[in-house]
Amino acid sequence: MKKELQEKLVGFPIEEFRHNLLSWYKAEKRDLPWRMDQDPYKIWVSEIMLQQTRVDTVIPYFHNFIEKFPTIEALATADEEDVLKAWEGLGYYSRVRNLHAAVKEVKEVYGGIVPNTPEEISKLKGVGPYTRGAILSIAYDIPEPAVDGNVMRVFSRILSIWEDIAKPKSRKTFEDATYELISKEDPSSFNQAVMELGALICTPTSPSCLLCPVREQCTAFEEGVQAELPVKSKKKKPKPLQMAAVVLYDEQGKLYIHKRPSSGLLANLWEYPNVEIDADSEKTYREQLNQFLLEEYTVEADLSELVGTVEHIFSHLIWNISVFVGKINNQPNKDLLPVTLEELQKYAFPVSHQKIYRLYEAEGTAGR
């Protein structure tokens, strides 16, 4: 442990902090669906869904996912297409691909029981230091730190830690702090209580210090610097990218969709044919799209005029998509799958391509 942290912990009222925090948590904790029991599988699923994702967003996905895949066995034997569909719209899709693979491993290697040692659980795909600690503490009552953004924010204020929480190496400081402060009697409630406090009281902007159960133990509040903490360096702006996409249809009213590669952005999701536009080219967007369709899919199509644009903002990218529709005149190659509108419902699309479909729908009702 770093010397600065050790010094901060000397004389810190640990017992009062724990007691006040846990009493508050027991009285005020939210009634969340993954808090109904201590099923390690359900806690695992919830922790993966909650990564970089708000509680209110996760709740309906969690209900649906557990209904469709109630057990390790059910998820392990499910089709990847169905699993991805249950994640559609949640984002960070590698989470569910890794979860699916890890659940299969738990079934095969651990007899369907989620392992309860740091070493074994860390080997599972998609389980990093936070999720490891969360499962061990919440499902198995083992006093391990589960350091997420909430924990770093809360402890940076409680202990006046001025390290940049955006830097990966500062995580260790907060893990060290947690080892010292965590309740050995109820590590599950302790870890959840710190996160709950971060979500409800010790919020990023304008924390509700007057309602805080550990205000008396908070060194940042004592010094009036709670608004200056945590220190967090800024991330860079997303880079804009010009795209063109087309919803292709044929005489039978089938649509033509493409499965994205198994790695990278939106891996394994389906999409409407699209290409990055060269803004410096002499060719129009429509001409560039036509050329791409021919070269990539051997498609000859009558493209419409522009039917609309879709903007979609990722963490690191902005897609500006010009959308066309097109009647297909020949048989495309195997990289393009013809589907009926009913079949379309089985495939998972990123939100950006759901928006593209809506433009096609609107265009259809308008004229075609």
Partner DNA sequence: TACTCGTGGCT
Partner DNA sequence: TAGCCAAGAGT
* Cβ-contact 147, 220 below 8 angstroms: no
Work out how close the CB of 13 gets to DNA at its nearest, in angstroms, rounded to a whole number.
24
How far apart are the C-alpha atoms of 52 and 229, rounded to whole Å?
20
* Stretch in the footprint of DNA (CB under 7 A) among 4-12, 249-257, 293-301, 306-314: 306-314
Pairing verdict, β 239-249 and 317-328: parallel
Question: Cα(first)–Cα(last) distance of the chain, in Å?
Answer: 68
Cβ closest to DNA, residue 254 vs residue 260: 260
Q: Identify the residue among 205, 262, 333, 365 touching DNA (CB under 7 A).
A: 205
Closest to 56 (Cα-Cα) out of 199, 198, 203: 199
User: Which residues between 123 and 152 bind DNA (CB under 7 A)?
Assistant: 125-132, 134, 148-150
Q: Identify the residue among 11, 111, 119, 236 touching DNA (CB under 7 A).
A: 236
56 binds DNA (CB under 7 A): yes
User: Which residues between 176 and 195 bind DNA (CB under 7 A)?
Assistant: 192, 195
234 binds DNA (CB under 7 A): yes
What is the crossing angle of helices 171-181 and 149-158, to 10°?
A: 70
350 binds DNA (CB under 7 A): yes
Q: Identify the residue among 314, 339, 347, 357 touching DNA (CB under 7 A).
A: 314
168 binds DNA (CB under 7 A): yes
Work out how close the CB of 290 gets to DNA at its nearest, in angstroms, rounded to a whole number.
26
57 binds DNA (CB under 7 A): yes
235 binds DNA (CB under 7 A): yes
Cβ closest to DNA, residue 51 vs residue 116: 51
Catalytic, 16? Answer no
Q: Identify the residue among 59, 241, 267, 339 touching DNA (CB under 7 A).
A: 267
* Stretch in the footprint of DNA (CB under 7 A) among 46-54, 276-284, 300-308, 336-344: 46-54
Q: Identify the residue among 14, 32, 78, 339 touching DNA (CB under 7 A).
A: 32
Work out how close the CB of 60 gets to DNA at its nearest, in angstroms, rounded to a whole number.
11
14 binds DNA (CB under 7 A): no
* Stretch in the footprint of DNA (CB under 7 A) among 71-79, 217-225, 265-273, 276-284: 265-273
Write the binding mask 91 to 120 for DNA: x where contact by CB under 7 A, - elsewhere. xxxx---x----------------------
How far apart are the C-alpha atoms of 84 and 105, rounded to whole Å?
18
Residue with tokens 């699923």: 45
169 binds DNA (CB under 7 A): yes
- Catalytic member of 4, 7, 28, 47: 47
How far apart are the C-alpha atoms of 45 and 95, rounded to whole Å?
10
User: Active-site residue numbers?
Assistant: 47
Q: Which residues bind DNA (CB under 7 A)?
A: 32, 46-47, 50-57, 89-94, 98, 125-132, 134, 148-150, 153, 167-169, 192, 195-196, 198-199, 204-205, 232, 234-237, 264-267, 312-317, 350-352
